[in-house]
Chain A
Amino acid sequence: MKLLTHPGVVAVLASMLAAAVHPGLPFGFPASEAGTIAVAAVALLLALAYVARALHAGLAEGVQALAAVALVAGLAFDGARAHRGLLTVEIGRAKNTFEEEGADGRALGLRPLGSQVQLVRASGAQASLALPDGREVTVTPSRAVRVGSFRLGDPRLHPSGAAASVTVNVTDDAGAHTVELSDGHPGRLGDVEVELERYFPDFALDERQQPFSRSVHSRNPAALLRVRRGERTFRVFVIRSMPGLHQVAELGKSFALTAVEPEVSVHLRVAQEPFAPILVAGALALLAAVGLRRSPA
């Protein structure tokens, strides 16, 4: 026990733990299960060293030991009881589960969120959620929100690769008309019905001259439209970068893709950390211990 409280041993244990938890080092926590056990063992030894030292020393050492025990206990309990993961939700959709992740980032499957949240809108870097009690909360990069016993924060907007809506300009002898289309919601212009068949956010042709999308980002949007007049159906391909190209002689109309509103999904970090207040108390106690300390460095 005397060896454990030696300043050199305490300094080595603290330095080892510092290296283990540092995110920039390759052996940083939590790399693996064995690594987690090793880190926990070093943390326990360090806390034990502070407790043993406090048995024969003054107030500062006592407070430091208390702080170390609170921090190790808080992290251990949260290691066993905390739930963290990712909630992915599209605009207009509701979710009541999230994808739970282990300490090493491994997916653990779906976990109930305890209540249903619906993504009402998302813009810039913030997302507005409707809760079952009728409240609407906004999550921003600088503010997480509480939903039941979970906290939701760090919103990240990702294009899903689909289009929430596309705007097509149809020109004929009578003039130009605009029609807005979305999946399952065709548009009508007189006796012509226009429907969105496929959308390519980043259009390109493969070696067999077949259209495909290089990415989910709307860099070169294009769409395949199904146009019906009576019994006849035409397939019209429109590319936003080539507005005057798409004419259908039989219909006497030309089509141009003028605007696209990409469909976005929002990824939200979800966490339930019941022992976080103990960690805050431990950190404050550690701060007090450093202030009270009288021994020379």
Chain B
Amino acid sequence: MNPLPATAALLALAAAFAAVPRRAMAPAPVVRVLAVLAALVMVPTLEEAAAWPAAALVTGAAVFATPLPCLFGAAAAALSALAAPVPVSHVPFAPILAALSLAAITASLDTETGARLRSGLDSGWPSVIAGLGLCLALALSGDGQVLGWRVALRSSDQLVTLPGAGLVAGLTLLVTLAGSLGLAAHLLTRAVPSGPVRRFAARLLVLGGGLAILSVGYWLYRGAPFAEMLPAAAPGWAAVLLGTGALLASLAILIGDPVSGEPQPWLGRATLEARIGAGLAVAAAAAAGVESWLRAATYATPATAAAASAALLALAVLEPTRWSLVKKGLLVVALVFVLTGA
């Protein structure tokens, strides 16, 4: 494991948790300081290909200094720390622009969520979404091994089962899923008195968050002796780390004091961040096309298609419609695909 990106990941995680709950629009100075430190720590690692998008994402997190960009920056830095070292042959402009776009769009998602919470959105919804996201990450990591109570590291000719890791991850999945579904049931049936269900679901989610921390740490502890097999499992682990961070951040909103204030300034800021993110997504698509044309002789490559797809979703995000948070969520998924496919 490369210690510099790992340090950057820890700093970005600390920045994310210092940023929640977000009560003022301007970030606390400590958040920006931690994020800037994380970005600086990434600089010496730029001779490796995987470090460029991670460094761009952490730099974006330092610019916007809101929880979600910091969490994505932490996950990207962790992925870079676990990835097999591949020397960079050229500066990958399209992934860098896509990473900056991701930072801006996740910041916009954060800010708009803040605006919705101030205009009456129940504080349980972020926890439901984050909980279900963590469950999805757990279920999909390692080709669904967790569903069989097993976590294993794979290489071309070897399979190493991590003892106990499957039990912890499986329990995390069950408890978080129960908590998320219970809270969603309460939120979707407002006419039916279901206060105890909400309280029980919230406790399950807190337990799920604790188990998720244990699961992430235990996986790393058990997997550390098999360093050469970690790169293959790293994307799944980084997704679980991201889901865990998002769940813990959302729990701070769920069990913390309710936020108050005018939503309009937050919406204005979210619009600006979305415009920046959309512009960067379009620039990433253009860069992907030009890079493919220069390197692979044709612009018609999967990388260009993925970046073009993200750019089209960015144009959809710019349209003033309902379901703005859903559109931004889809754009985040598309940008993550651009980065992981790169």
Q: Check B293 for interface membership: any CB of A closer than 8 A.
A: yes
Chain A residue with minimal CB distance to B328?
A297
Q: Check A14 for interface membership: any CB of B closer than 8 A.
A: yes
Using an 8 Å CB-CB cutoff, how does the interface string of A55-75 with B read, 1 for contact, 0 for none?
Answer: 000000000000000000000
Chain B residue with minimal CB distance to A291?
B279
Using an 8 Å CB-CB cutoff, how does the interface string of B311-338 with A read, 1 for contact, 0 for none?
Answer: 1111111111110100100100010010
Residues of the A chain whose Cβ atoms lie less than 8 Å from the Cβ of B159: none
Interface positions, chain B 55-90, Cβ under 8 Å from A, are 89-90
Q: Does the CB pair B321–A7 fall under 8 Å? A: yes
Residues of the B chain whose Cβ atoms lie less than 8 Å from the Cβ of A164: none
B109 to chain A, nearest CB (A): 12
Q: Check B176 for interface membership: any CB of A closer than 8 A.
A: no
Residues of the B chain whose Cβ atoms lie less than 8 Å from the Cβ of A273: 293, 298-300
Residues of the B chain whose Cβ atoms lie less than 8 Å from the Cβ of A151: 293, 297-298
A297 and B319 alpha carbons, distance in the complex (Å)? 6
Residues of the B chain whose Cβ atoms lie less than 8 Å from the Cβ of A270: 297
Chain A residue with minimal CB distance to B313?
A18
Interface positions, chain A 154-171, Cβ under 8 Å from B, are 154
Q: Does the CB pair B319–A7 fall under 8 Å? A: yes
Q: Check B106 for interface membership: any CB of A closer than 8 A.
A: no
Q: Check B244 for interface membership: any CB of A closer than 8 A.
A: no
Q: Does the CB pair B296–A296 fall under 8 Å? A: no
Q: Check B197 for interface membership: any CB of A closer than 8 A.
A: no
Name which of B5-13, B29-37, B133-141, B280-288 contacts chain A: B280-288
Q: Does the CB pair B286–A283 fall under 8 Å? A: yes
Q: Check A112 for interface membership: any CB of B closer than 8 A.
A: no
Interface size class, chain A: 35 or more
Interface positions, chain B 289-304, Cβ under 8 Å from A, are 289-290, 293-300, 302
Q: Check A21 for interface membership: any CB of B closer than 8 A.
A: yes
B101 to chain A, nearest CB (A): 11
Q: Does the CB pair A271–B300 fall under 8 Å? A: yes
Given known pairs A11-B316, A297-B271, A297-B274, the reply for A21 and B305 (CB within 8 Å) is yes
Q: Check A26 for interface membership: any CB of B closer than 8 A.
A: no
Name the contact of A11 in the complex, choosing from B89, B297, B300, B319 (C-beta under 8 A): B319
A152 and B296 alpha carbons, distance in the complex (Å)? 7
Name which of A138-146, A197-205, A227-235, A239-247 contacts chain B: A138-146
A17 and B319 alpha carbons, distance in the complex (Å)? 15
Chain B residue with minimal CB distance to A150?
B297
Q: Does the CB pair B271–A23 fall under 8 Å? A: no
Q: Does the CB pair A15–B318 fall under 8 Å? A: no
Q: Does the CB pair B319–A10 fall under 8 Å? A: yes
A178 and B317 alpha carbons, distance in the complex (Å)? 70
Residues of the B chain whose Cβ atoms lie less than 8 Å from the Cβ of A268: 297
Q: Does the CB pair B282–A18 fall under 8 Å? A: no
Q: Check B103 for interface membership: any CB of A closer than 8 A.
A: no
Residues of the A chain whose Cβ atoms lie less than 8 Å from the Cβ of B198: none
B196 to chain A, nearest CB (A): 39
Interface positions, chain A 256-297, Cβ under 8 Å from B, are 268-271, 273, 276, 279-280, 283-284, 286-287, 290-291, 293, 295-297
Given known pairs A21-B312, A290-B282, the reply for A84 and B319 (CB within 8 Å) is no
A284 to chain B, nearest CB (A): 7
Residues of the A chain whose Cβ atoms lie less than 8 Å from the Cβ of B315: 10, 14
Interface positions, chain B 242-262, Cβ under 8 Å from A, are none
Q: Does the CB pair B316–A142 fall under 8 Å? A: no
Q: Check A187 for interface membership: any CB of B closer than 8 A.
A: no
A12 and B295 alpha carbons, distance in the complex (Å)? 33
Q: Known contacts A12-B316, A144-B293; can you find 13 more A-B pairs with CB under 8 A?
A: A10-B319, A18-B312, A22-B337, A84-B298, A151-B298, A153-B297, A271-B297, A271-B300, A276-B289, A276-B293, A290-B314, A297-B270, A297-B278
30 contacts between A and B (CB under 8 A): A8-B319, A10-B319, A11-B319, A12-B316, A14-B319, A15-B313, A18-B312, A18-B316, A19-B309, A21-B305, A23-B305, A23-B309, A24-B306, A84-B298, A152-B297, A153-B297, A154-B296, A269-B298, A271-B298, A271-B300, A276-B293, A279-B289, A280-B286, A283-B282, A283-B286, A286-B286, A290-B282, A297-B270, A297-B318, A297-B320
Contacts from A to B (Cβ < 8 Å): 7-8, 10-12, 14-15, 17-19, 21-24, 28-29, 82, 84, 141-144, 150-154, 268-271, 273, 276, 279-280, 283-284, 286-287, 290-291, 293, 295-297
Contacts from B to A (Cβ < 8 Å): 89-90, 270-271, 274-275, 278-279, 282-283, 285-286, 289-290, 293-300, 302, 305-306, 308-322, 324, 327, 330, 334, 337, 341
